[in-house]
Chain A
């Protein structure tokens, strides 16, 4: 990775920098897990940036490293098996990886907040909703008398009807959509600069999902928050994000504005994903299918990890991992096919 390290970082920042102040910059992040089965390279050299008020979609199949990337940003990687072995995570210019754990504790929730996939897991079943929302404010040393009012405000912000009466409810009394909105309320309670949402709508129905995504967008715009939206649904990315990063086997294989990546995907994996989706408007005779299955992260194939499944694989693909190539001045892709004049 040192080979393309510095050079590509410059290239990438030149490509990725769009309007807006850079909020988060992840550079060459590597998170490995040391298990009995060997070293699992869950995240292997991931770099991206998020600007203020910008929504980045992190898309990919299961086990591609999306969630581990997010947990690495918050330094919540399960210890001791997991370790961040390389890279920098710059948040407002400060490297999170060199911070003390006590400082990180203060930052989590205050500057960077996270919404998890299943609110039934992230809400404590034995505490009331009001208690759990108020916890965020208690950490901020806000006067007791004000806390209740603040909790009501924040719950009404996420459109929980008659929030005042619902403070004494327990999570099981809420529906799935309401639970996820409560989780969102807790996340934005302290107005973080960056919100990480890890598959926030997977457990919700389409109509409720639609409501939640609208709410997320509204909150993001109101607070000028940066947003990292992790999802496997390319439809959600298209509707809620400005930029997208497609992950495969621990790396971002393609990144760029949503419009460019969807209209003109450069990486064969992105192209295949787009073609494999059934359409709502028309019936296709047969779906395009990607052969094989995603690789085991404990034993990745040599060279490009996608080459065994790639319809356009060349000799070089099985030998060397491709460096990044700029695509139409809008993002990049890691694929030898993009090398000018052939490989």
Chain B
């Protein structure tokens, strides 16, 4: 599959003022620390993790809303971190976003058709696209997300939560982008509306051949919609791979604990005692070695020293855990010696 977006060793640190008057001292909040992955065209790539794991910062770096500290991001083969202004303009016509809270991402003083038509006006300023053409296109796209022409002249506050999210989707796809970054697209919605929006997103993806990067903490939703998934913990990817493979055979202790903690609508299920204790650490001074080791029940003294890197343990399934890669390494060396 053709690679659309490739993230290579991206690092994003936020300086945090930590005292000093003449010589100001800063601590570094390591929000995203050395992350690499690639997203193929037409894929739906999910990023899972608890709050504070750096999911949203990563999305902002991809969207050029935050400047990466180091690393490179290749979009259709071009490094977006070295883009100049016209390039960024082009990039923003190819990559769109949908935010968690549609209500606050829509301008309360603009009518729905203006909100949906605005990206066209911004991008086609030089082409002198007529008002009528913009309006017709906005109407067409609103229709395709299931909103009738009755909505066109309304203001956002007149719409329900589900309808607002539909407007946000319409605005994101009006420029026919190739990549859409969705940050918690359905977490603010009710169950019955959530299913409608998820089905709509799947339909649109198929129809327009879109690639999605979806950030969410709802694991069941990610399983349903994504093809590939990365699990983040304190700024690092701990597990990465094909969605079905990761969900069927989670390898990292954090992924296992995360899956085990999800409440399920099955009354007779006996829930195992939680394997992890405590809370997510502080990204300003993350624990040394494996960042998960203070909460891990299988942690060894090695875990405090060695920073595990992502290794492929099965085809299309990478994990960054010292114990797991060592186990696999042992079996492979055994097979090697027996051969």
Of B224, B260, B268, most A-chain CB atoms within 10 Å: B224
The answer, yes or no, to whether B60 is at the interface (CB within 8 Å) is no
Count contacts on B: residues with CB < 8 A to the other chain. Answer: 45
Stretch at the interface among A46-54, A122-130, A229-237, A318-326: A229-237
Complex Cα distance, B264 from A289, in Å, reads 19
Stretch at the interface among B64-72, B80-88, B149-157, B192-200: B192-200
Complex Cα distance, B131 from A319, in Å, reads 47
Residues of chain A with a CB closer than 8 A to B261's CB: 206-207, 209-210
Complex Cα distance, B160 from A237, in Å, reads 26
The answer, yes or no, to whether B276 is at the interface (CB within 8 Å) is yes
Residues of chain A with a CB closer than 8 A to B195's CB: 276, 287-290
Q: How far is the CB of B219 from chain A (nearest CB, A)?
A: 6
The answer, yes or no, to whether A277 is at the interface (CB within 8 Å) is yes
Q: How far is the CB of B144 from chain A (nearest CB, A)?
A: 17
Q: Mark B21-46, 1 if CB is under 8 A from A, else 0.
A: 00000000000000000000000000
Q: Mark A198-215, 1 if CB is under 8 A from B, else 0.
A: 000000011111110110
The B contact surface, by secondary structure, is: helix
Q: How far is the CB of B26 from chain A (nearest CB, A)?
A: 21
Complex Cα distance, B243 from A178, in Å, reads 32
Identity of the chain B residue whose Cβ is nearest the Cβ of A260 in the assembled complex = B267
The answer, yes or no, to whether B334 is at the interface (CB within 8 Å) is no
Say yes or no: B276 contacts A207, CB within 8 Å. Answer: yes
Residues of chain B with a CB closer than 8 A to A4's CB: none
Stretch at the interface among A68-76, A278-286, A335-343: A278-286
The A contact surface, by secondary structure, is: helix
Within 8 A of A (CB), among B73-110: none
Given A277-B220, A280-B247, are A294 and B192 neighbors across the interface (CB < 8 Å)?
yes
Say yes or no: B219 contacts A207, CB within 8 Å. Answer: no
Given A211-B277, A278-B221, A283-B243, 12 further pairs, Cβ under 8 A: A205-B51, A205-B217, A207-B257, A207-B261, A210-B260, A232-B191, A234-B191, A235-B264, A235-B265, A238-B264, A287-B198, A288-B195
Selected A-B contacts with CB under 8 Å, 25 pairs: A175-B279, A176-B51, A205-B217, A208-B279, A209-B263, A210-B263, A211-B277, A234-B191, A238-B266, A238-B267, A259-B268, A276-B192, A277-B265, A278-B223, A280-B219, A280-B223, A283-B243, A284-B224, A287-B224, A288-B195, A290-B195, A290-B196, A293-B162, A293-B193, A309-B192
